[in-house]
Structure 1
Amino acid sequence: MRDFHLPGRSATFASNGMCATSHPLAAKTAVDILERGGNAMDAAIAGAILLGICEPQMTGIGGDCFALFTKPGSDEIHALNGSGRAPAGADSAALRARGHDTVPLNSPDAVTVPGAIDAFCRLSADHGKLGLDTLLAPAIHYAEAGVPVAPRVAFDWPVAAKALQGHAIGYFTKDGAALKTGDLFRAPGQAEVLRRIAAKGRDGFYTGEVAEDMIAALNAQGGGHTADDFAATECDYTTPVAGDYKGVDLVEHPPNGHGATAILMLNILKHFDISLMDPAGSQRAHIEAEAAKLAYDARNRIIADPDHTTRLEHMLAPETAAKLAALIDPQNAMPAAAPLADAVHRETVYITVVDRDRMAVSLIYSIFHGFGSGIASEKFGVLFQNRGAGFCLTPGHPNEMAGGKRPMHTIIPGMLCENGRATMPFGVMGGAYQPNGHARLVSNLRDFGMDAQTALDAPRSYAEAGKLKVERGYSEAVRAELAGMGHDVIVPEGPIGGGQAIVIRPDGVLEGASDPRKDGCALGY
């Protein structure tokens, strides 16, 4: 139990249904859908699409999504890959010939075809109870009426808005200036797109006038996207991957998502007595940082489009983790592993919903960098992700850019299972931090016995690009000790990630946890 003398946030408890996500309006919308007879999938879709209006710098209909979910009365976890592909004409050799070592972030070369809308339509048809017209109505309303900008959104907006170009400046700024806390953000063009999706399903987005508007915007910037690329977009059901850590199974989305990185991190951490360390001390932060460097290096070598990933079994093998753990010096930092396809970003939203039948949905939805590629369509203002920046340009690499491929993806929904029972859908946003965030959350729960809210509140550190980011929640003494071990310690300007979780307790009560690093909350009924 937290100390009620100090600032903090209590967990939320309910018995019928619950949503935890990063914006209160989306959480309320999800619970409203549950109370109207919708199930967890309906609520998650409605809330997620609204998040694109509440947090436009983070996500939107021009992005991708991934989902893990259970069906009513079952603990079997299913996965859906809603990530789009590079256009057929994408060519890494052409980019290398133009002098590029990486995919240019704010160019049409980085724009993969948005996959989220196809995924939402499929999930609604296959697993929802209410129609798309009902699920999209809240987002349509708020897109037209406007949403007041929340504090964390306003914090992100000025930096993210630097990516905006062309038509996007008019849609996502106020006369060229970033919106501030309390300003109303409206997106009437997107409201019209959502109406067409409600009426026509995926065809309202991937064909016809909306698709033509998107293709024209990309082609005007030099992109090679075609109507066939958009029409061919299709999500896939797939099989999750999992790994055990001290009696709990961490279930992750398989490649092209990098959830296997979190499993590898935990497999490495098993070789150390983490539970005997101070949870906010330097030794734990050091070991975790070293495990992350090694796990992310493996990720950069292995994770790619599922049709091109051939060494996933090796990555998840206990012997691999044992060999990597042996490389860690408990007192000295190793050099950072070179990132092959890991541009720094933090733009993602996450939503989890559990309903009265204990159907659980863990869904993550993103446009990659702040305001994605910065490119928006002219008529409807659809902002495009820049997920193609997740490709590398190294010849022969499994994640090398090519037409029709899916890039390595940083967004990962998670779920925990105990003794075959799905016990906690969760996610930790924060771009590349996400596998580290999953491992940290699981360790907080299992090594230190924290409840879910305390586990999310706890301070974070993260080794990235040769720096060890250490939040202000750590003491100066800890930062000095880490520097003494050889880490290049910095205090990041913004927080590291942000998480949401719902614990499905053995007594049937739902316990929701929501990270104070975001604007959101957990709501139940």
Structure 2
Amino acid sequence: MRRRTFLAALPATALASPLLAQTESPAQKSPGQGGAPAPDQPLPKRWDAGEPRFVRPDVQAGDRPFGASFASRTAAYGLSGAAGTAHPLATQAGIDILKRGGSAVDAAVAINACLGFLEPTSCGIGGDCYAMLWDPKARKVVGLAGSGASPRALTLDIVRSRAKGGALPPRGAVTVSVPGTVDAWWALHQRYGRLPWAEVLAPAIALAENGAPVPDIIAWYIRSNLAAFVSPGAGVEETANAIRTYGLADGKGPKPGAVFRNPDLARTYRMIAEGGRDAFYDGPIADTIERYFRRIGGWLRRSDLAAHHSEWSEPHKTDYRGTDVYAIGANTQGIATLQMLNMIERFDMGEAGFQSPEALHWCVEAKRLAYEDRARYYADPHFADVPVEWLISKDYAAKRAALIRRDRILTSVHPGQAPSQGDTTYFSCADRDGMMVSMIQSNFRGMGSGLVADGLGFMFQDRGQLFSLSDGHPNIYAPGKRPFQTIIPGFACKDGEPWMSFGVMGGDMQPQGQAQIIVNRVDYGLEVQSAGDSPRWHHEGSSQSMGEDSPGLPATGLLRLETGVPDRAKAALADLGWTIGEPDGGFGRYECVEHRAEGRDRVYAAASEMRADGCALAF
């Protein structure tokens, strides 16, 4: 579009913004941005075998006759149930459980168990699990925190002796905390399950025994994770079990489409199906885990497992322009979503316009301010007094939002002063009775610690890496303490009725992604699928960090923009001073089930992520 035509289409108030007064400058666009060939390189003519991507920046997606121009597909609609997951076979398993009369919780547990086999790069029973759900009988949103604590035999002195650069290493036994997933499944099923426990786990057992082809992205991640575990200086005490479990024929992992089986995991699932959560935490699996960690010099013990129990909680919420958005508190980053939205609400996002540089600038600055508080205050509330109500208050948000300037970047960002007194899979499903489950589960960084106990078929999480080692910090490491958690389910209601069970996977991207979904839906009217297909931004770097940021970032961090963000917005943001980074695929993965009232009918609309290998189905 010519500049004259573009400016004529803008409202007068938008023209006053210094951001929207910018023109696109080709010199400001990074060569090869988004993996594209540099300007002096010829464009590829065909997709050669073995190449991970086929990039033609001059070619756009086909034209859909209805809906948003950037939407990948339409949501899946149904009257009786819906599910959206990161793998088609997991989605099918969830739908099958619902069709057999299972509750949304039955479907969620079945889905998660399947994904532990199908998507070991993101989840598994060696990790933690969080859920929010709409309880149609109680008519409210309920939260469950399935987060495990650090081993009691692992002291702060030992942890500090293993630290690198003042932080815990990313892999190995020192990062392993108690896996909370199986107990979370059990707690959910005991309260809300309809089908027998063993029947819920049956689909995952069958998949693990019979095998399934590995999708392209998951295969790529398995191979890259295994390569990292065995690299020099990786610090993983034992890798033979991981290679035997996931390596396939060449020991390096599956190639796209290769059939993967995990009989060890099938056997472990059978023990859990027969013995319930106690088989894992106070039975034969716990015995195997203790023997393994003693053998490799680790610290996790059966007593740590036996002491673990999930916690039911009342989620926190905020009102964003008439929509109630919920978040789990506890030791998660969930309230960062609420903090961001409270600040964004102070700006006229609708007037600025969809994907405008002004709107993007406001959102990124809100993220920077919220994440300073995240690094300063978020922690296990059993060990620290986290000022949650103050952090998510509208008054505090107004003060923080007042710091955001329209014409410049905040050069010095600090956490607020509290008053006196701290890689993932996501899925959503819904049933015929109106129950909606928003569930997220993770081993933290990639596949996890690199450690697989003898004959169990799953990897332990490396969640402990997110502990702080600074004296006086609310998230400082302590034995028996839960580390700061990145995994957060999302939920939103309207007028006292459930609206969206949703989530965006991906470490520190999760609150950023959740806020973008809410803004896309509430401020810009996008429907459930196009809200996820919309180009995203991801800001990395804060003056304070929970350990996930790369070293050497600019003072204002690194702002990564997906290729689909308009060129004029990229140029204007660069002119404002943002350091624009290459798209790196770290923009999260989204799943959502939306509830709609159509007269006397309940309609579900299920959406899935176009950036990954999953799908959404409804019936």
Q: Does 1:8 align with 2:68?
A: no
Do residues 167 (structure 1) and 241 (structure 2) align? yes
Residues 63-82 of structure 1: matches in 2 within 5 Å?
63-82=127-146
Q: How does 1:169-248 map to 2 (within 5 A)?
A: 169-174=243-248, 175-248=250-323
Alpha carbons 1:163, 1:371 under 8 Å: kept: no
Match of 2:408 in 1: 332
Question: For residue 313 of structure 1, what is the aligned residue in structure 2?
Answer: 389
2:390 partner letter: H
Equivalent residue letter for 1:29: A
Once residues 318 and 93 of structure 1 are traced to their aligned partners in structure 2, the CA distance between those partners, rounded to angstroms, is: 41
Report the Cα offset of residue 5 of structure 1. 8.2
**Aligned residue type for 2:329:** P
- Residue from 559, 570, 578 that aligns with 1:487: 578
User: What's the secondary structure of 1:230's corresponding residue?
Assistant: helix
Residue of structure 2 in register with 1:441 after alignment: 517
Cα displacement (A) at 1:123: 1.1
Q: How does 1:300-449 map to 2 (within 5 A)?
A: 300-307=375-382, 308-335=384-411, 347-449=423-525
One-letter amino acid of the counterpart of residue 169, structure 1: I
Q: CA contact under 8 A between 1:49 and 1:136: conserved in structure 2?
A: yes
Contact (CA 8 Å) 1:469, 1:492: kept in 2 or not?
A: yes
Larger radius of gyration: 2
Alpha-carbon spacing, 1:329–1:91, altered in 2? closer, same or farther (3 Å): farther
Q: Structure 2: how far apart are the matches of 1:456 and 1:201?
A: 37
* Contact 1:73 1:358 (C-alpha < 8 Å) held by counterparts: no
Letter in 2 for 1:440: Q
**Alignment partner of 1:19 is 2:19:** no
Quick check: 1:83 aligned with 2:147? yes
Once the two structures are superposed, residues 178-202 of structure 1 have per-residue CA deviations (whole angstroms, 9 ceiling, x without a partner) of: 3221011211111101000010001
Q: Is the 8 A contact 2:82 2:604 kept in 1?
A: yes
- The answer to whether the 8 A contact 1:112-1:386 is kept is yes
* Cα contact 1:211–1:230 (8 A) shared by 2: yes
2:603 corresponds in structure 1 to: 509
| Matched residue type, 1:128 | G
2-side partners of 1:185 and 1:315: how far apart? Answer: 46
Q: For 2:501, what is the secondary structure of its paired residue?
A: strand
Q: CA 1:220 to 1:284, structure 2 compared with 1: closer, same or farther past 3 Å? A: farther
Instruction: Name structure 1 gaps, 5 residues minimum.
Output: 340-346
Matching residue within 91, 102, 106 for 2:171: 106
Q: Counterpart of 2:381 in structure 1: which amino acid?
A: P
The secondary structure found in structure 2 opposite 1:266 is helix
The answer as to whether partners of 1:20 and 1:514 remain within 8 angstroms in 2 is: yes
The percent identity for this pair of structures is: 38
Preserved contact between residue 112 and residue 388 of structure 1 (Cα < 8 Å) = yes
Measured after TM superposition, the shift of residue 383 of structure 1 is 0.4
Amino acid in the other structure paired with 2:243: I
In 2, Cα distance between the equivalents of 1:520 and 1:325? 37
Equivalent-residue separation in structure 2 for 1:476 and 1:222 (angstroms): 53
Say which of 243, 251, 263 aligns to 2:326. 251
Does residue 122 of structure 1 match 2:213? Answer: no
Q: CA, structure 1 residues 420+99, in 2 after alignment: closer, same or farther (shift >3 Å)? A: closer
Trace 1:53-72 onto structure 2 (pairs within 5 A).
Answer: 53-72=117-136
Q: Give the Cα separation in 2 of the matches to 1:284 and 1:69.
A: 31
User: Taking structure 1 as reference, are residues 83 and 337 closer, same or farther at Cα in structure 2, changes over 3 Å only?
Assistant: farther
Aligned residue number for residue 264 of structure 1: 339
Q: Say yes or no: does 1:472 pair with 2:563.
A: yes
1:316-372: per-residue Cα shift (whole Å, max 9, x none)? 122221121122122322358699xxxxxxx11111111110011111111101111
SS at match of 2:565: coil
- The residue identity in structure 2 corresponding to 1:442 is I
Residues 358 and 98 (structure 1), Cα distance of their counterparts in 2 relative to 1, 3 Å cut: closer
The change in CA–CA distance for 1:210 and 1:264 in structure 2 (over 3 A counts) is same
In 1: Cα distance, 2:484 partner to 2:567 partner: 36
Measured after TM superposition, the shift of residue 411 of structure 1 is 0.6
Aligned counterparts of 2:69 and 2:404: Cα–Cα separation in 1: 40
Aligned to 1:157: 222
Q: Look up the SS of the partner of 2:135 in the other structure.
A: coil
Query: What is aligned with 1:49?
Result: 113
The residue type equivalent to 1:179 in the other structure is P
Q: State whether residues 501 and 513 of structure 1, in contact with CA within 8 Å, keep that contact through their aligned partners in structure 2.
A: yes
What's the CA shift string for 1:236-290, capped at 9, x where partnerless?
1111000010000001111211110000000111111111123222222221111
Please state how far the C-alpha of 1:207 moved relative to its aligned partner: 2.8
Matched AA of 1:323: K
Letter in 2 for 1:88: R
Query: Conserved in 1, the CA contact under 8 Å of 2:71 and 2:534?
Result: no
CA drift at 1:43: 0.6
- Residue aligned with 2:597, SS: coil
Q: Which residue does the alignment assign to 1:344?
A: none
The separation in 1 between residues aligned to 2:135 and 2:366, in whole angstroms, is 34
Q: Choose the corresponding residue for 1:288, options 356, 363, 381.
A: 363
**Aligned counterparts of 2:510 and 2:587: Cα–Cα separation in 1:** 10
Q: Matched residue pairs, number?
A: 518
How far 1:515 moved relative to its partner?
Answer: 1.5
Deviation at 1:203, TM superposition (A): 1.6
CA distance in 1, matches of 2:321, 2:344: 11
TM-score by length of 1: 0.95
- Following superposition, the deviation at residue 397 of structure 1 comes to 1.0
The residue type paired with residue 133 of structure 2 is F
Mapped to 2, the partners of 1:438 and 1:58 lie a distance apart of 18
- CA distance 1:405–1:487, change in 2 (3 Å): same
Give the SS at the match of 2:529.
helix
What residue identity is the alignment partner of 2:169? P
Residues 124, 131 of structure 1: 8 Å contact kept: no
- In the TM superposition, residue 59 of structure 1 has moved relative to its aligned partner by 0.4
Give the TM-score normalised by the residue count of structure 2: 0.81
For each residue in 1:290-323, what CA deviation from the matched residue of structure 2 results, as whole angstroms up to 9, or x when unmatched? 1101101111111111212431112112222112
How far apart are 1:94 and its partner, in Å? 3.1
Contact 2:499 2:594 in 1 (8 A): yes
SS at match of 2:443: strand
SS at structure 2 position matched to 1:68: strand
Give the structure 1 partner of residue 103 of structure 2. Answer: 39
Compared with structure 1, are the counterparts of its residues 2 and 393 closer, same or farther at alpha carbon in structure 2 (3 Å cutoff)? farther
When residues 286 and 400 of structure 1 are mapped into structure 2, their CA distance, relative to the original with a 3 A threshold, is same
Find the counterpart in structure 1 of residue 234 from structure 2: none
Conservation of the 8 A alpha-carbon contact between 1:17 and 1:354: yes
Q: Contact (CA 8 Å) 1:461, 1:468: kept in 2 or not?
A: yes
Letter in 2 for 1:172: Y
The range that moved more, 117-126 or 211-220, is 211-220
Between the aligned partners of 1:47 and 1:424, the Cα distance in structure 2 is 19
How far residue 208 of structure 1 moved from its aligned partner, in angstroms, is 3.2
Distance in 2, matches of 1:418 and 1:76, equals 12
Q: Distance in 2 between matches of 1:96 and 1:6?
A: 48
Q: Name the SS of the counterpart of 2:140 in structure 1.
A: coil
